[in-house]
Structure 1
Amino acid sequence: MKNRQKQTTIPLQTEANARYTADQWAAIHLEGDNLLVSASAGSGKTSVLVQRILQKVRRGYGVDELLVVTFTEKAASEMKERLEVALQEMINEESDPDSRQHYLQQIAKLPQANISTIDAFCKQVIQRYYFLIDLDPVYRLITDETENMMHFENVWEALKEDLLAEGNPDYLRMSKHFASDRKDDKIDQLIFDLYNKSR
């Protein structure tokens, strides 16, 4: 089943699917444009995203052709579980043998589908394409706060040296206003504070 029909209109809501708001319904069915869905916690984003994925599957796409990123492993796992349940329901309700076969294939592909956290996806990209992107595939995440701060200071020191070596006018102006007695302590603290606030 590879119909992949381009959807130009949004289907009408019925009583059966009235649990979705008009905006949620549009988020599920809109195609062909960049789409930003912004909503607070507990507002049904996961449910809307699951329905959006199912709409693509109904139109002939495979779950292995989609990239779905979440903030937590728990959310990714929950999404896969919801998709499996919904696909099973679609199989039970489907009379067309080709469509049933397509839905069965999607359940089999779910464990390998790109439904994960953004960092898990980035890890996969690095490990698969390290030779193209010039990054070491053997790395670890910095989880210790002290080690993280030391790494940050090393990066900042290297960047500072580059800015001084090139005579960066913005850095020189900042240094003129904030440095004291030829020391950069105040500048360092300012940069650290800005970095922490931006996070």
Structure 2
Amino acid sequence: MIPIKPKEAMWSDEQWQAIYESGKNILVNAGAGSGKTAVLTERIIRILKEGISFDRLIVLTFTKAAASEMKERLRIKLTREIKQGNLHLQAALDFLDQAAVQTFDSFALELVRRYHYLLGIDRSLRIGDGVIFAIKRKQIIDEVFTEFYEAENENFQNLVSLFSIKNDHTLQNYINNILKKIALLPDVDAYLHDYNDHFYNEDFIRKQIKKFESLFALERERIRERLFRLKNRVDDEALLLHVLECEEALSPILAARHYSDYREVEGLKLPTIPRAVDDEKQKALVSYQKQEIKKSLDKIRDYLEYRDEDEMLAMILETKPYTESIIALFKRINAKIRVFKRENNLYEFEDVAKMAIRLVSDNQELREN
């Protein structure tokens, strides 16, 4: 139970809750300079005062500087608490230099080295320079492309023809950039294995098309809002009649709900502002709002690449062979990169992080200890 916050407490209600909440996982989402480090320090002190040993705590930060700052804050706070009579915290202060207050990277590396035998790797694994991996990745991509050329795979050849003009450098760079991004996923193999089943599922694609329609709806509502403003601000009779004529011309768009409904925009033209209007200020207002409405109509036209939802679905499904070739490239490239890393006992930080996650996920004893 969270204790009642004293009136003289320096903490906000949310900070107080973050310090004393227990028995559940908590997430504190706050901006820079909002006191997150101070709150975490106080929470650790609260846990230690309750009798939890420091060797049961793991405190992880993103940078070495933050870890050092955290240890120093804990040292100051523990020293103060001991002087105030909390003598049982002396053990925590003595243990502070050995405590797991460190970066995510260093903790993961320590865990992997300690339990390397469970992963089937050498304990002396090293973290390689990013430049080395960048060069090796490009070399392996070139090797795999050569393999695929020699195999005369039709889908691969079509892929190269689609993305290449003079040579395949653009496609290789594309593959390289995507590889670097998906390398951050927790399980790249599972992602690639399930990709086509997930993303080329007709129900999934139709749901995405519906989301695409929300872009139309956004512009439609912008048009509606501009017409509403004009009808409420224009009192010149001729101009107001003109606004109503514009609204009538736009009625197919305002009533549109599905992709195919918006095809009406293709031949749509707004009537011209009547010349016999004396109020130049209101005339300028109508002219400006009409220009903004035309911008929304142009955006809708830009989105209308297909005749209807079924044509869009068919075009997306036609890209599946290209995606299959890209996935095959990814799998082969990743396999060769893994061989290089294992043979040289050289890894990237994301590799170590994934190995640490796998250790904890697959071994109940580690989670309990």
Q: Which TM class, normalised by the smaller chain length?
A: 0.7 to 0.9
Is 2:16 the counterpart of 1:16? no
Letter in 2 for 1:10: I
2:176 paired with 1:192:
yes
Deviation string, structure 1 residues 140-175 (Cα, Å, up to 9, x no partner)? 3333x53231244367679989x9xxxxxxx97x94
Q: Following the alignment from structure 1 to structure 2, what is the Cα–Cα distance between the partners of residues 40 and 104?
A: 33
**Are 1:150 and 2:135 an aligned pair?**
yes
Aligned to 1:74: 65
- Counterpart contact for 1:178–1:187, Cα < 8 Å: no
Give the helix-richer structure, 1 or 2: 2
Cα distance change of structure 1 residues 196 and 87 upon mapping to structure 2, 3 Å threshold: same
Q: Return the alpha-carbon distance in structure 2 between the equivalents of residues 155 and 28 of structure 1.
A: 50
SS in 2 for 1:77: helix
Q: Compare relative contact order (CA 8 Å, sep 6+) and give the higher one, 1 or 2.
A: 2
For 2:103, the aligned partner's letter is T
Counterparts of 1:177 and 1:21 in 2: how far apart (Å)?
62
CA contact (8 A) 2:19 2:42 kept: yes
Matched to 1:11, the amino acid is: P
Q: Distance in 2 between matches of 1:86 and 1:11?
A: 20
- Number of residues paired by the alignment? 178
Distance 2:131 2:21 in 1: 46
Indicate the residue corresponding to 1:5 in structure 2.
none
The aligned residue for residue 46 of structure 2 is 55
* Residues 45-87 of structure 1, C-alpha deviations (whole Å, 9 max, x = no match): 1111101111111111111110110011111111111111111
Q: Contact conserved, 2:54 with 2:99, CA < 8 A, in 1?
A: yes
Residues 157 and 130 of structure 1, relative CA distance in 2, 3 Å threshold: farther
- Letter of the aligned partner of 1:52 in structure 2? R
Q: Does 1:112 align with 2:102?
A: no
| TM-score, normalised relative to structure 1 | 0.73
**Cα contact 2:41–2:74 (8 A) shared by 1:** yes
Q: Which has the larger radius of gyration?
A: 2
Aligned residues with identical type, % of pairs: 31
Give structure 1 stretches of 5+ with no counterpart. Answer: 1-8, 164-170
Classify the secondary structure of the residue corresponding to 2:101: strand
CA change 1:51–1:130 in 2 (3 A) is same
Aligned to 1:25: 16
Aligned equivalent of 1:135: 121
Contact 1:175 1:184 survives alignment (8 Å): no
Distance 1:28 1:135 in 2: 40
Cα offset, 1:195, TM superposition: 5.5
Distance 1:159 1:51 in 2: 54
